[in-house]
Structures are given as C-alpha cells and as structure tokens.
Chains A and B, each alone.
Chain A
Amino acid sequence: MASAVLRAVARWYPVPLVLAVWEVLSRTGAVSKRLMPSLVEIAAAVGAAMDNGDLLFHAGISLGRAAAGYALAIVAGVLLGVAMARSRLFDALFEPLFSFGYPVPKIALYPVFIFAFGLGSLSKVMLIFLECLYPITVNAFYGMRGVDRVHVWAAENMGATPRQVFWRVLLPGAAPSIFAGLRVALPISLIVVIITEMIGESRGLGYYISYASASFEYATAFAGVAAVAVIGFTLDRLLVWLRNRVIFWERGAAFIGAA
C-alpha cells in the first residue's frame, strides 16, 4: 500500500511541481497575470462556465464536429488504403495524390471550403475529414502492404478463401498500423476544429477561447484551454484503450512512436 503510494508520487510528482511553479510565478507577478492567471482564478472560471452551461455547450459543438470529420475520415481512409494496397490500378491512380498531398497544409483551403460548404459546421467537418484522411489512408496502406507474405501463403495453403484471408489474416495484420494512423489523426482533428472555430464562427471552443481572450477574460480563456486539454487527453486514452482491446495480441504503444 505504502509502496504503491510512493510509486505514484515518484511517477506523477512533476505535475504538481509544474502547477506549483505556475502558481508562484503568477502570485509573485514574475510573469504577467494575462499569460498566467492564478490557478484558483482558472478553477473559479471553470466552475462558473460549467454552472451557466457555456463550457459544455461549446465543447459539445466542437466535439460533434471533430467526431463527424474523424469518423468520415476513418471510413474513407481505411477503405481507400485497403483498395490501394490490394489493387495495382487504385495504387497507381491514388498514390501520387497522397505522396504529393501529404506534406501540404490542407488548412490553407479553409476559405474555399467556406464558399463551397457554407460558414457552418459542414465546412469544418469537411476540412477535418480531408486533414485526417491522409495519415489514416497512408497508414492503412502500409499496414496492408506490410503483412507477412508467409502468413497469407500459409492461410491459403490451409484452404482459406480470399474472404477469409482478408478478414482473418490481412486485416488483423494491418490493424496495428491502422491504429497508429488513427492516433496521428486524432489531435489533427482537434487542431483543425479549434482553428476553424477561431477564424470564423460564433460557437465552439475555439470561438469561446478567442472571444474570452479578446475581451481580456484570461481566466475564462484558460477554462476553455483546460476543456480542450481534457477532451484531447481523454480521447487519446480512449483510443489507446480501444487499441489494446482490439489488438490484444500485441502490447505497447502507450505512447506515440515514429508514427
């Protein structure tokens, strides 16, 4: 019991340490209160924003948009990645689009998306979809391609039909790589939803944060930042948990690797 507590302290001590340094810097005025409001003030702002429902309202909207774009990207990205890995024609048709488009910041297209899909949620969802599509497709592709030939031959040798080979050998073999792609895309979906809401919107956490800091309510802005942090962290943990349940035969990847 005592050793468990000690171990937890040894693991997590930096977090309270950082928070304490923050509080000291804020209280002594070494760093402007605008940049680092006292944690007590931030906590009060979180409480107030929870009470009047602002935080939950805006968080719900941001989360809905991010989830919609992300879900679309999963469906299209995995399908496309699998098709490209399985068919030479698809590979030849789409590979240049992905290898050339990958390093290009798609966020620059947001104004075009506003004209095409309107100022509301749809333009944001589509941009999230586009940004997330790249890492998911590319990882699904490499995952499918990376499956050991010997496993496929062994399954075929034992009389597996092509369908069985796909569902029982190829897809499980590609699963770790597919999840790696999902993990790369998750924070991207949050970045895009926040930044598009900051640029032009009157709802969502991005708007909430930029509005609060434009009206000099820094503690409230930090309440919004805290909400984004909690959402990002929770979703990431959920994804890791899901990954370890689905890919029960392979441990690890608690953290992000080479991606």
Chain B
Amino acid sequence: MSAAAQRRAAPLSRARRTALGLVLPLAALIAWELSARIGEVPSYLVAPSAIFATTWEMLASGELWQHTRVSLLRALGGYAIGGACGIAMGLLAGIARPVERFYDPVVSLTYPVPKIVVLPILIAWLGAGDASKIAVITAAVFYPTFINSLYGAKGVNRLYVWSARNMGAGPLRVFAKVILPAALPQVLAGLRIGLALAFIVMVACEMQNSRSGLGHLIITAEDSLRFDLMYAAIVAIAIIGFAGDRLLLWLRRRALAGQAIGKEGAHG
C-alpha cells in the first residue's frame, strides 16, 4: 500500500468491508440457485436450496454424522500420532546436534515427496481399513510438525538459555521453561499446516479406496448420480476443515497468551 494510495482512500468501515466480502459468495449462490431453478445448468449443479435440504435431512437421520465420525477418527488418529512423533523428534533434533544431523538428509530428501504415493502399497499390505489410511496421514503430518518444531527449538535465543543456566537451572528445567515456550509458536504453526494436510489426505484416501467415510460418500453419491448427497458430503468436509482450523487458532491464542502473536487469519 503506497503512501499515495493511503491518502486517497479512507479506510473502509467494518460494516462496509463485511458487506463487500459477502458480494461475491452471495452473487454466486443466487446465480446458481436461479439457473438451477430455471434449468439452464447441467444436472450436477444441484440448487443450493436442495443441497441444504439434503444436508439437513441427513443430519437429522444421523447418516451424515456416521460418515463424519469415521472420517474424523482416521484424520485425528493419524494427526495425533504424526503430530506427537513430529514434535517430539523435532524438538529433540533442535536441541541435540547428532539427532539433527541424522534426520537432516533423510527428511530433506523425502520432504518434497507426496506421501500419498505409498497408499496403494499400504492398502495392499494393511488392507483397505483404517490402518492404511491412518499410516498415510501420520506420514503426511509428521513432516511439517517435525520441521517446524526443529526450527522452533533451534531458533531459541542462546542468551536466554545461557542466562537460565547461569541462574542454576538444570537441563530439564531449561527445556521446560525456556526452550519449549520459545519454540511453541512455531510448533503450533507446524501443527496448523499438519491439520490441513491431514484432512486433504483423509479425503484423498477415502476417495481412492474405502467403504466408509465422507470421501467414500462423495464417490458413491457421484456414481449413483445423487448429486445432492455428494454436495452434502462436500459441505461436511468443508465445515470440518474450517472448524478444525479455527479451533487450532483459538487454542493457539490461549497457549500464547502473553506472547506476541504473528500473522493470523488466512496465513498458513
């Protein structure tokens, strides 16, 4: 934002900003609804009102919740395992050079590889059940949490560590009272990237090969041309992804109360 532009336009008020923000989504929704009513669109574009009705119906019957529960269990199971391993090993690598030296080449070689490639092999080995999906999600979540924890622990100001030592704190105390709090913002940033990945991989796994879950629901609904059902599942996935992210942001605000918080909102 250049200074000249700043002088030209006064800041938009909050209300006007919100109103403007609603313009595009509302226009799209209305155009979609109207064209679906008039019948000018292909059948896969079901009217939003019909999608809403189906979503409501499936919520009431509990069917949507059943699939959501299965999906959530997989995503959160992999997220918990992958996140715990990533944080533990990342922090350890951040404070112990030999550990970092060991992980560095392996992680930097495998980091850019999409972990989803091993899914068919894992399915052949572990079966099409939950285990193969949780394993892939675990692998996908491990990398961002590991890397962010590593850099968080490495980036701790040495002066703080030295002064704590100087004042007689033992290694455990230094870790718990100095390194952990200082690394926390970056650890949480890694957890946030990991959560988004966990949901992407969850949907991908369930679409590829599954007998339950929201991804499976999308594919079967599509196959049987029940487009309203398909959109209900998509809506559920969108809500889960969004709610999970907001929950994590809320936790972060609580955990970092008193610490300076960096960019928030849309920034990954």
Tell whether A105 is near chain B: CB-to-CB under 8 Å: yes
How big is chain A's contact interface, by range?
A: 35 or more
Please give, as numbers and ranges, the residues of chain B lying within 8 Å of A110 by CB-CB distance: 207
Is B234 within 8 A of A100, CB to CB? Answer: no
Assess A96 versus B147: contact at CB under 8 Å? Given A209-B120, A222-B121: no
Is B114 within 8 A of A232, CB to CB? Answer: yes
Q: Which among B11, B42, B44, B268 is the interface contact of A184 at CB below 8 angstroms?
A: B268
Is A104 within 8 A of B219, CB to CB? Answer: no
Is B120 within 8 A of A105, CB to CB? Answer: no
Please give, as numbers and ranges, the residues of chain B lying within 8 Å of A187 by CB-CB distance: 111-114
Is B2 within 8 A of A156, CB to CB? Answer: yes
Alpha-carbon distance between A135 and B215 when the two chains are bound, in angstroms: 23
Q: Which among B111, B121, B203 is the interface contact of A218 at CB below 8 angstroms?
A: B121
Is A92 within 8 A of B237, CB to CB? Answer: no
Is A34 within 8 A of B120, CB to CB? Answer: no
Q: Which among B108, B110, B121, B237 is the interface contact of A105 at CB below 8 angstroms?
A: B237
Assess A257 versus B120: contact at CB under 8 Å? Given A138-B266, A236-B112: no
Assess A199 versus B241: contact at CB under 8 Å? Given A108-B234, A232-B113: no
Alpha-carbon distance between A170 and B106 when the two chains are bound, in angstroms: 37
Is A88 within 8 A of B12, CB to CB? Answer: yes
Please give, as numbers and ranges, the residues of chain B lying within 8 Å of A85 by CB-CB distance: 1
Tell whether A32 is near chain B: CB-to-CB under 8 Å: yes
Is B9 within 8 A of A88, CB to CB? Answer: yes
Alpha-carbon distance between A100 and B236 when the two chains are bound, in angstroms: 14
Assess A32 versus B125: contact at CB under 8 Å? Given A14-B105, A96-B25: yes
Alpha-carbon distance between A258 and B214 when the two chains are bound, in angstroms: 30
Is B120 within 8 A of A107, CB to CB? Answer: no
Alpha-carbon distance between A145 and B6 when the two chains are bound, in angstroms: 13
Interface of chain A residues 93 through 135 with chain B (CB within 8 A): 93-100, 102-105, 107-112, 114-116, 135
Nearest residue (CB) in B for A236 is B112
Nearest residue (CB) in B for A180 is B268
Tell whether B160 is near chain A: CB-to-CB under 8 Å: no
Is B218 within 8 A of A111, CB to CB? Answer: yes
Q: Which among A92, A225, A259 is the interface contact of B117 at CB below 8 angstroms?
A: A225
Please give, as numbers and ranges, the residues of chain B lying within 8 Å of A209 by CB-CB distance: 117, 120-121
Q: Determine how close the nearest CB of chain A comes to the CB of B45; give it in whole angstroms.
A: 8
Tell whether B230 is near chain A: CB-to-CB under 8 Å: yes
Please give, as numbers and ranges, the residues of chain B lying within 8 Å of A96 by CB-CB distance: 21-22, 25
Write the B177-221 contact mask toward A (1 if CB under 8 angstroms, else 0): 000000000100100010110011111100110000011001100
Please give, as numbers and ranges, the residues of chain A lying within 8 Å of B116 by CB-CB distance: 191, 194-195, 198
Please give, as numbers and ranges, the residues of chain A lying within 8 Å of B123 by CB-CB distance: 213
Nearest residue (CB) in B for A155 is B2
Tell whether A69 is near chain B: CB-to-CB under 8 Å: no
Tell whether A1 is near chain B: CB-to-CB under 8 Å: no
Tell whether B119 is near chain A: CB-to-CB under 8 Å: yes
Q: Which B residues fall within an 8 A CB radius of A?
A: 1-5, 9, 11-12, 16-17, 20-25, 42, 44, 101-106, 108-114, 116-125, 144, 147-148, 151, 186, 189, 193, 195-196, 199-204, 207-208, 214-215, 218-219, 222, 230, 233-234, 237-238, 241-242, 244-246, 263, 265-268
A-B contact pairs, 19 of them (CB 8 A): A18-B106, A34-B125, A35-B122, A96-B21, A102-B266, A105-B237, A105-B238, A107-B204, A108-B238, A111-B218, A138-B267, A153-B3, A187-B113, A191-B114, A195-B116, A209-B117, A210-B119, A221-B120, A255-B151
Known: A99-B266, A221-B120. 13 other contacts (CB 8 A): A14-B105, A14-B106, A34-B125, A35-B125, A88-B9, A89-B20, A94-B24, A105-B199, A105-B203, A110-B207, A111-B219, A149-B3, A257-B151
